[in-house]
Structure 1
């Protein structure tokens, strides 16, 4: 008996592994297609079609016991469908596979002969469960068999009073199955994308760990070796040559201070953000998120002192686009590529910053939902609405004497998008000396040019260099 029980359990396990789809991983609630609770809420709406079976039952029977019997079966069927199916399909709870399938089949088999053929509407939900729970090699033949039974059975039941093929029953079965095949494919794509994100994050951490280990070895290996040798030498010379021993210990102290300075400089370098690195990371992150990216091919036109700031802008803008925007496309432009922006000439008076971005600016534009505008004047500490990331970025921009602008990219569009722009006055514009015109005797001097105009005039002149 023990052997028979073990063999039966093994056969049941093998059958379950053959039938069952590979379990999908648990995912956050921002993935509605794969969240069991969201799936239950959507599926419960479609259970309204069981009302056809209930109305058919009331029309065919006057016996309250039969009506109560049918109502209980409909409730049990709905509970099995809503509770057990997502547990197996989305959480990988394999122990609920047979209760889900056999429970639904038992409800249909107990309902149709006693209450009426309207109960065949439950086969639509059975086909959905089969697609979600079973492999295609199993679910496709079973769904076709269910559709065939729904077409054939009404013609061979005396009290059904149906003539010809009943496509009104089989067509919904096939349509529901095809729909769920698409849902399952989308769920698998999202699961694979989630795993890809995790793998990218793991590889990035591993690369960073290796880089830190390599840098620390290169920095401290030589210094610590030298310190060890000199300390041992000083200990040996302490009695024989105290002066030289003291000199060696002074060198050890100097090496220690230098090593500490090198470590601090290296750690500070880890906290720095590079525009080139952030653009490369943005390309990978946006591709993984399914957002088409247009990125600048070069950062040569950006002054070196602004590249770290612009790196922070790219990091914050890309993070917001991936997390919050729902965008399909994002464009990043630098410097002169943005000079012809649609709001050129809108710079704040007295800020020293023109509306066009010019050579010292960066702009990120996506086609997503678009949050509320956040604007910070040049030199002002950001106190505008928005996330902590934008407030921190506004503080960085203000510290550099620049201006941060956010708002919808296309306010009149259905998806207004989001525009993040940072403008910083260029060094030439900020430090340009006043131009003293040469005036001939007896001629009134010309009025002084504004700073922007003077800069343009000097830049276009062909005279001797300054």
Structure 2
């Protein structure tokens, strides 16, 4: 359950999986756009004096307030209010043009990028219109003695692209984390259902027998029959066997078995979008080796999912070995995570059993992890000494 909680927490136990797409981090990033009104204020200082300068600074301040309100409205999902605030910001930007001249188009960069993010259907038209205005107006207003506003147009285009790119990344990241949390939740629910089903299958029959025998013992005891003691003894023995079965079932969920790891591996590969070519039976493997091969299958499939970037994973069983192969382009079944000790632990287990682990690239592509145990050799023929004849 700790892994599920960690997945739902975005990789940090107890964390918020959406922390990078909301809260103070998003506020800090959005506040970076206030640099542009600051640049416009420099234009007011350069081109205006007296009352005109006061008006210019007031417009910049009002623009900043409108931007903050528009950001809150956009996050809250109030589309109509956001649209009205964007229009008011556009009007303030136009009112600033006679005061700050070409510097007013830094305000336009904020309006255009915000509008392109909020109105994605028309983003190309919005960015093109803003860039053309910044390019043409400084050239068209002759008293400014300026040519086309190439710098301002580039600021508008690249700012809009930056904001749209961040918006796309944040949206995709949020969707990915929500999907991962949902998958973890579904996996947890499936595990609960599996345990409930297995315990029901294990205990259903035994509890029914206990109930029937207990009722019989009660009736025999009421009639004074000595058979009641025999039935109670049978119930006691059945209860002890049930307790043993439950302990075995619980320990079975924690211990590694080859059949269990193949079943878990098939589900893990399916969830990761990897085609699983796994055996459906394990009787080819000796019972003494099934747990050991289960460890190998667990390590191999886990590394395929984590590192291989594969589309297919194949597991082959033999009486003396198991092979996990993938067709990936990254590190595969034979490569542990950086700093991990999964493969090291597997090598130690196999070495203790007298076997070997081979991991490396597979032809024509992918990785292969192969565990091989030494086959017992044929028994040596008994040597007999020829006695001397007397």
Shorter-chain TM-score category? 0.5 to 0.7
Q: What is the TM-score of this pair, normalised by structure 2?
A: 0.64
Secondary structure of 2:272's aligned partner? helix
Shift of 1:247: 0.9
1:153 to 137, 145, 169: 137
Q: Deviations over 1:248-273 (max 9, x none)?
A: 11111122122223322332333346
1:386 to 336, 339, 353: 339
Shift of 1:217: 2.5
1:255 to 233, 238, 242: 238
1:214 to 181, 184, 197: 197
Asked if 2 retains the 8 angstrom alpha-carbon contact of 1:364 and 1:419, the reply is yes
Unaligned runs of 5+ in 1: 1-25, 288-292, 322-326, 338-357, 376-384, 410-417, 439-466
Unaligned runs of 5+ in 2: 1-8, 384-390
CA distance in 2, matches of 1:88, 1:405: 59
Q: Please state if 1:119 is matched with 2:104.
A: yes
Aligned CA distance change for structure 1 residues 111 and 189 (closer, same or farther; 3 Å): same
Secondary structure of 2:226's aligned partner? helix
Asked if 2 retains the 8 angstrom alpha-carbon contact of 1:80 and 1:104, the reply is yes
Asked if 1 retains the 8 angstrom alpha-carbon contact of 2:272 and 2:305, the reply is no
Secondary structure of 1:146's aligned partner? helix
CA distance in 2, matches of 1:84, 1:364: 53
Higher relative contact order (CA 8 A, sep 6+): 2
Aligned CA distance change for structure 1 residues 143 and 335 (closer, same or farther; 3 Å): same
Secondary structure of 1:116's aligned partner? helix
Asked if 2 retains the 8 angstrom alpha-carbon contact of 1:130 and 1:139, the reply is yes
The match for 2:272 is: 286
Q: Deviations over 1:391-443 (max 9, x none)?
A: 7767765665666789x98xxxxxxxx989574534x1xx32466699xxxxx
Q: Deviations over 1:137-177 (max 9, x none)?
A: 565655455345434533553432346x6565446535544
Aligned CA distance change for structure 1 residues 284 and 117 (closer, same or farther; 3 Å): same
Q: Please state if 1:231 is matched with 2:214.
A: yes
Q: Deviations over 1:442-466 (max 9, x none)?
A: xxxxxxxxxxxxxxxxxxxxxxxxx
CA distance in 2, matches of 1:365, 1:181: 36
2:183 to 196, 200, 221: 200
CA distance in 1, matches of 2:275, 2:208: 49
CA distance in 1, matches of 2:69, 2:275: 45
Asked if 1 retains the 8 angstrom alpha-carbon contact of 2:275 and 2:311, the reply is yes
Aligned CA distance change for structure 1 residues 32 and 158 (closer, same or farther; 3 Å): farther
Q: Deviations over 1:88-122 (max 9, x none)?
A: 66xx3447957974785476356433222222033
The match for 1:425 is: 373
Q: Deviations over 1:279-299 (max 9, x none)?
A: 323323433xxxxx5754547
Asked if 1 retains the 8 angstrom alpha-carbon contact of 2:266 and 2:276, the reply is no
Higher percent of residues as helix? 2
CA distance in 2, matches of 1:396, 1:336: 18
Q: What is the TM-score of this pair, normalised by structure 1?
A: 0.56
Aligned CA distance change for structure 1 residues 369 and 62 (closer, same or farther; 3 Å): farther
Asked if 1 retains the 8 angstrom alpha-carbon contact of 2:261 and 2:294, the reply is yes
- Taking the TM superposition and a 5 Å limit, the aligned residue runs for 1:394-413 are none
CA distance in 1, matches of 2:31, 2:23: 12
Shift of 1:234: 1.2
Aligned CA distance change for structure 1 residues 84 and 387 (closer, same or farther; 3 Å): farther
Secondary structure of 1:114's aligned partner? helix
Instruction: Report the RMSD for the aligned CA atoms in angstroms.
Output: 5.3
CA distance in 2, matches of 1:256, 1:336: 39
The match for 2:116 is: 131
Shift of 1:308: 1.8
